[in-house]
Structure 1
Amino acid sequence: MNNGIPERRKTREVRIGSAAIGAGNPVAVQSMAKTLTTDIEATSEQIRRLEKCGCDIVRVAAASKKDTEAFAKIAAQANLPLVADIHFSAQRAIEAIDAGAAKIRINPGNMRSWKELDDVIACAKANSISIRIGINEASIRNLKEDTPSRDRVSLMFDEMSEYVREFEKRGFEELVLSAKSVNVNRTIAINRRFSESFEYPIHIGLTHSGLPEDGLVPSAAAMGSLLSEGIGDTIRISLAGEPENEVTAAQDILASFGLYEKNSPKIVVCPTCGRCMIDVLSLARKIKQAAQGIEKPLNIAVMGCIVNGPGEAADADLAVCAGSGKGYIYRGGRKLAVVQEENLLEEFSKQIKLLAAE
């Protein structure tokens, strides 16, 4: 730990277009376009939205020749590095590279011919792009219906080891590794083994983690465990629905470890108890609304009593600690004002704007 921030595991640097991952670079946030790739306008618009919310890398499906033809037009107008998602066809991989992919993702479980992959590797070398070897537990080559859960990590590791050796034999080392499962414990276990065994950057994430309201907790549990051990050079939180939610979730998880600084206020709210003197939840929601649109990493605390309140206020840029019929406003740990409860929201909102303007 360095100032409470996990020390990152050492990996080599790999470039993905304008982005660099590994070797101590910031953890890159990824998402995936959820539109049909052949719908060039919709896909390009989604990529622009992802760029606006702070995404670093976007993956785009390239399952057909029509997809790779559209990929070229999408890449030509995208500001973010694009990764072409390839599963079955070496020819699609070559087309995507020629179309401007900054990286391709191949799935070993679905692409098994080394003769075809030789051509992909040669094309990747010629275009100076990287390749992600992305294993999905559901498509492990040697997976059988009766394969015990405990054996799946070893199967994924063996499959990755084979591919890494073959790529290295061919003189290709611009690799990013990933293995994903819907299972939190297996996701943690396989990424630990990768980190112990390889020096390549690791992309972390659960696969199919769920609806937005259901997928956040398992994703945070798995990603938090790995990030706390310094594992992970790029991250995607796979959630159903709009891809911006994936980016926000990844940023929040990274920020909780000090690995990302959000350019917006962070609001700490006490959980409330019998000591509360005001409706903390209602006040906090209104304060959050007042802080919307502020592009500054402010720490704001809303506390329901004077027991823990002053302590939280000491670490906050701006804080309110409730008393009976009034609130104590602190700025930078120093008491700024005592305000009657009916005027508390108005005065606190005023202080937020003053602080944001400085």
Structure 2
Amino acid sequence: MNTEDHRHVRPWRMIDRRVSRKIRVGKVEVGGDAPISVQSMTNTVTSDAAVTIEQIRQLEEAGADIVRVSCPDVESTAAFKTIAREAKVPLVADIHFHYKRGIEAAQNGAACLRINPGNIGSKDRVRDVVQAARDYGCSMRIGVNAGSLEPHLLEKYGEPCPEAMVESALFHADILRDLDFHEFKISVKASDVFLTVAAYQQLAEAIDCPLHLGVTEAGPLRTGTIKSSVGLGNLLWAGIGDTIRISLAADPVEEIKVGFDILKSLGLRHRGVNIIACPSCARQGFNVIETVTALEARLAHIATPMSLSIIGCVVNGPGEALMTDIGFTGGGSGKGVGMVYLAGKIDHKIDNANMVDHIAGLVEKKAAEMEAERAAAEARDPILEHIAAE
């Protein structure tokens, strides 16, 4: 029995998303009723197009909806044309300090231009970038960072604070709106979780544009994941946020994995195998941690939403298995043997020694069946929305 079958009839699990207007980043819709998109950013030298394209490929395989690419110099915006042509997902050109890089990136295939109001320059320069976005069909992101606020705001408020960040964002949003440009989203990021959450809460009440969430410079993989989960989890739970980026000092692919895991935990996106596993104890009938680690690696390639429970004993195992597509419970009367559940029902036993290969095979078979069913449904209804990874 798939856990998704139950989620829709449990109001205490529902999140009422903030209503925002919808924009497009290339082929990806952001805001409104669109799924919350997951982004990452390349960390290669952009002027090396081949290396940058390869990293984008890795991010695409991990499920990235949008990828941001830094454009610090003329060589980078020149290479951007080749990179954009090869990418399968929309690219955001990250622009700082020199507004001409934004114009060049728009000309060379950017789907979105990200500018930082604190360092892009005068209002006239912002206008020039906006005109390029309009001319070449780009959306824009106003990216406010606590670490690079405008000097006059720091003087006014004395330090980075939610009020200063929101004032910066709204000032630059007004410039875009005065120019009759409305294809924009906003972010107000800080490395401090409290500052980040407070700024987004205030901004969400002040404007109806889509919001791009992130705790900037969150840190290494473990601590950065925790900070991002706390900050973004609070906002997403409150219905705030239309697209997210997890900023980790780690392989960018990990950002995509963490992003989807956060959304998955809140029932906002469903991609890949959701493994429910106990922390293990003396009752375990097999090595739970070793098994889960092996299965996580074996099943990383599966994008089809599915639930899998791996529980070490019969205390909670049968109950968890009732709620998952596939379940395995150790212990019970037999030693070295566990029970396999399919669609919430007892199906057969398997030796612990063969369980990883066996369970991986069951998951792959189930994923193939689900994809075949989805394809058949789409064939019957050509306008059926593609929801395999949502």
TM over 0.5: yes
Cα-Cα RMSD? 2.3
Aligned to 2:148: 139
- Secondary structure of 1:189's aligned partner: helix
Shift of 1:214: 2.2
How far apart are the structure 2 equivalents of 1:11 and 1:295?
28
Query: 1:140 Cα deviation (Å)?
Result: 0.7
Please report how far the alpha carbon of residue 201 of structure 1 lies from its aligned counterpart in structure 2 after TM superposition: 0.4
Q: Tell whether 2:61 aligns with 1:52.
A: yes
Alignment of 1:271 onto 2:279? yes
Number of the residue aligned with 1:329: 340
Give the secondary-structure state (helix, strand or coil) at the position aligned to 1:160. Answer: helix
In structure 1, C-alpha distance between the alignment counterparts of 2:125 and 2:169, rounded to whole Å: 18
Shift, 1:344, TM fit = 2.6
Measured at CA, do residues 165 and 247 of structure 1 come closer, stay the same or move farther in structure 2, by a change above 3 Å?
A: same
Looking at structure 2, the residues matched to 120 and 297 of structure 1 have their Cα atoms a distance apart, in angstroms, of: 40
**What TM-score do the two structures reach when normalised by structure 2?**
0.84
CA deviation after TM superposition for structure 1 residue 291, in Å: 4.5
Give the whole-Å Cα distance in 1 for the aligned partners of 2:94 and 2:60.
19
Q: Percent identity?
A: 37
Choose 319-328 or 223-232, whichever is displaced more.
Answer: 319-328
1:236–1:251 distance in 2 versus 1, CA, 3 Å:
same
Partner-residue secondary structure (3-state), 1:125: helix
Alignment of 1:337-348 (within 5 A): 337-338=348-349, 343-346=351-354
Q: How does 1:117-156 map to 2 (within 5 A)?
A: 117-142=126-151, 144=154, 152-156=161-165
* Alignment TM-score, normalising by the size of structure 1: 0.91
Structure 1 range deviating more: 50-59 or 302-311:
302-311
Deviations 1:21-43 (A, max 9, x none): 01110111111111111111111
Q: Which residue of 1 aligns with 2:172?
A: 163
The equivalent of 2:47 in structure 1 is: 38
The corresponding residue for 2:316 is 308
Q: Which amino acid aligns with 2:113?
A: I
Matched residue, 2:119: 110
Alignment of 1:211-290 (within 5 A): 211-263=220-272, 265-288=273-296
Note closer, same or farther for the CA distance 1:69–1:201 as it changes in structure 2 (3 Å cut). Answer: same
Q: How far apart are 1:317 and its partner, in Å? A: 1.9
Q: Is the 8 A contact 2:294 2:356 kept in 1?
A: no
Asked if the contact 1:299–1:318 (Cα under 8 Å) also holds between the matched residues in 2, the reply is: yes
Once the two structures are TM-superposed, the CA of residue 120 in structure 1 deviates from its matched residue by 1.8
Aligned match of 1:187: 196
* Contact 1:296–1:356 (Cα < 8 Å) also in 2: no
Conserved 8 A contact 1:329-1:348: no
Residues 193-223 of structure 1: per-residue CA shift (max 9 Å, x gap): 1111111000001111111122110011111
Instruction: Specify every segment of 5 or more residues in structure 2 that has no aligned partner in the other structure, as ranges.
Output: 1-6, 370-390
Shift of 1:316: 1.7
Q: Equivalents in 2 of 1:296, 1:170: separation in Å?
A: 43
Superposed counterparts of 1:192-207, under 5 Å: 192-207=201-216
Q: Deviations over 1:264-302 (max 9, x none)?
A: x32211123454444332343444456465554332212
User: In the alignment, residue 330 of structure 1 is paired with which amino acid?
Assistant: Y
> Residue 179 of structure 1 aligns to a residue in which SS?
strand
Could you give the per-residue CA deviations for residues 133-179 of structure 1, whole angstroms, max 9, x where no partner exists?
00010001136599666x61111011112111222112111111001
d(CA) in 2 for partners of 1:36, 1:319: 44
What is the CA–CA distance in structure 1 between the aligned matches of 2:294 and 2:59, rounded to whole Å?
Answer: 27
Report whether the alignment pairs 1:319 with 2:327: yes
3-state SS in 1 of match to 2:161: helix
Q: 1:146 to 1:127 in 2, by over 3 A?
A: closer
The answer to whether the 8 A contact 1:283-1:345 is kept is: no
CA distance in 1, matches of 2:353, 2:155: 59
Take 1:134 and 1:108, find their aligned partners in 2: how far apart are those partners?
Answer: 7
Helix, strand or coil at the partner of 1:8: coil
Alpha-carbon distance in structure 1 between the residues aligned to 2:149 and 2:96: 13
Deviation at 1:327, TM superposition (A): 2.7
Match of 1:7 among 3, 16, 24: 16
- Structure 1 residues 64 and 355, CA, compared in 2 at 3 Å: closer, same or farther? closer
**Cα–Cα, structure 1 residues 287 and 187, in superposed 2: closer, same or farther, change >3 Å?**
same
Shift of 1:337: 3.2
Q: Note if contact 2:291-2:356 (Cα within 8 Å) is conserved in structure 1.
A: no
Structure-1 separation of matches of 2:103 and 2:310: 55
1:31-87 CA distance string (max 9 Å, x none): 111111111111111112211221111111112122211212222222221111111
